[in-house]
Amino acid sequence: MMLTPRGVQRFYGIWFPLLHFVSRRTGLVPDFPSVYGEGSVSPSDAATLRDRLWADDALRAAFVAENPAGLSAEDLAVVKGWDARVRGTFYVFRQLKKHAILIPERGEPLAYAVLGLASPIEDVIPMPPPCMVEATLLPFEGKIIYDSLLVGYSISFGAGIRGSLNETYKAAQERGRLLTSLSLGESGVEGVRARNAKLLAQFVQHMARPNVNQKTLDAHRATIERFGEDYLLGLSPPRGLIDADADAVAIYLGTMGDDVNLISFKHFVRFLRDTGRMSWEGGEAMLKELL
């Protein structure tokens, strides 16, 4: 739900010297404290320095090079790692026991599992989730936090937006895009393979009928599993079956010739389309490749 007290102290022990450095280098917000807990800090002053920091990576590079606060090599590496920050508008969708779920306002299905700092995120937003915020997400000790400043909007959302957020969250989970860190390692082959296995099990369950025997179901599963293993997992970065599209199917079929069961592919595409895992248009485009 939030960082440990030790983690909070470490973050602010890096963050305050960094903002202090920006203040001295730019002349903005004179007398900003260099040590967490020394003196009062207004959120607007911190936001002014934060915005300048993220607008100019040269400031952060200079801080790392000069190390005016005498930080450890490990702490300087944290500052360097903030190249991977994510800034934008998010919905705080849900507060779970371990973290809050933030969903970007726009884009493909994606969600971030974000820890609070000294308080849970639900305690620092202006209203209960879902709540829209402006935020900068940061990698920190293998987790995702935010840069201590959230701008929340007191906007209520109806059933339509809530339902859409719920669908986005489910899609992010299924596609392996519920991120618990900002490391690229989460999209590795083994993670994609595990998600493929879950999807294939649901595909077989979806197809199961009294008049369809297990041998047929196993054959359909094997055909689609082979597509995932032999083609999609070999891409860079590796792609899961749920991310297959018409181009991928066309290329794969072109390499396989007649050595593929098109009926299995048709069943799989209809499964993705009819269960909302793929748009209708995307499904139709894939089906055209299977004629």
Q: What is the pLDDT of residues 120-156, one digit of tens each?
A: 999 999 999 999 999 999 999 999 999 999 999 999 9
* 184 vs 95, more confident: 95
As to burial, measured by CB atoms within 10 angstroms (0-12 exposed, 13-18 middle, 19+ buried), residue 12 is middle
| Least trusted range by pLDDT, from 24-28, 51-55, 214-218, 239-243 | 239-243
Domain 85-184 sits in CATH at 2.40.50
pTM of the model: 0.73
Q: Is 267:219 a contact under the CB 8 Å cutoff?
A: no
Q: What is the mean pLDDT of residues 187-198?
A: 81
Q: What is the mean pLDDT of residues 196-201?
A: 91
Domain boundaries of the chain, sorted by first residue = 5-83, 85-184, 188-288
Q: Is 60:53 a contact under the CB 8 Å cutoff?
A: yes
Give the pLDDT of residue 88: 94
> How does the average pLDDT of the chain come out, rounded?
91
Residue 198 has pLDDT above 80, yes or no: yes
* 267 vs 176, more confident: 267
Q: What is the mean pLDDT of residues 30-37?
A: 88
| Least trusted range by pLDDT, from 12-21, 83-92, 189-198 | 189-198
Could you tell me what percent of the chain has a pLDDT over 90?
A: 65
Give the pLDDT of residue 63: 97
Q: How confident is the model at residue 68 (pLDDT cuts 50, 70, 90)?
A: very high
Q: Is 265:283 a contact under the CB 8 Å cutoff?
A: no
Give the pLDDT of residue 74: 95
Q: How confident is the model at residue 183 (pLDDT cuts 50, 70, 90)?
A: low
Q: Is the peptide bond before 129 cis (omega within 30 degrees of 0)?
A: no
Give the pLDDT of residue 186: 47
Q: How confident is the model at residue 73 (pLDDT cuts 50, 70, 90)?
A: very high
Residue 258 has pLDDT above 80, yes or no: no
Residue 184 has pLDDT above 90, yes or no: no
3-state secondary structure the chain: CECCHHHHHHHHHHHHHHHHHHHHHHCCCCCCCCCCCCCCCCHHHHHHHHHHHHHCHHHHHHHHHHCCCCCCHHHHHHHHHHHHCEEEEEEEEEECCCCEEEEECCCCCCEEEECECCCCHHHCCCCCCCEEEEEEEEEECCEEEECCCCEEECCCCCHHHHHHHHHHHHHHHHCCCEECCCCHHHHCHHHHHHHHHHHHHHHHHHHCCCCCCHHHHHHHHHHHHHHHHHCHHHCCCCCCHHHCCHHHHHHHHHHHCCCCCHHHHHHHHHHHHHCCCCCHHHHHHHHHCCC
Give the pLDDT of residue 237: 76
Paired sense of beta strands 111-114 and 151-153, if any = unpaired
